Amino acid sequence: MNYGDRITLEPGKRSGKPCIRGMRITVYDVLSYLASGMTYPEILDDFPYLTQEDILACLSYAADREHQTLLVQP
């Protein structure tokens, strides 16, 4: 998934953390909900302005960041 159109970085918003579509919910927020055991439907019920594609974009962004981290290590 290409997350470039869904994950935004704005210096003045949430301390420059990656957010979803310019909103104040961060990638970290969504990943934390998933890690705590929330399902996609539970997250979407609690945050009706999010979509399943937003959740997938967060996962894709996190996977890409992890991959980049692995490439940098000696």
The pTM assigned to this predicted structure is 0.86
Token pair belonging to 57: 């974009």
Q: Quick one: pLDDT at residue 67?
A: 81
CATH of segment(s) 7-65: 1.10.10.10
pLDDT band at residue 74, thresholds of 50, 70 and 90? Answer: low
Write the pLDDT tens digit of every residue in 37-48.
999 999 999 999
Q: Quick one: pLDDT at residue 68?
A: 74
| Radius of gyration for the chain, computed over Cα atoms and rounded to the nearest angstrom | 13
Write the pLDDT tens digit of every residue in 6-44.
999 999 889 989 999 999 999 999 999 999 999 999 999
Token pair belonging to 55: 């959740």
The CA dihedral of 14, 18, 21, 23, to the nearest 10 degrees, is -20
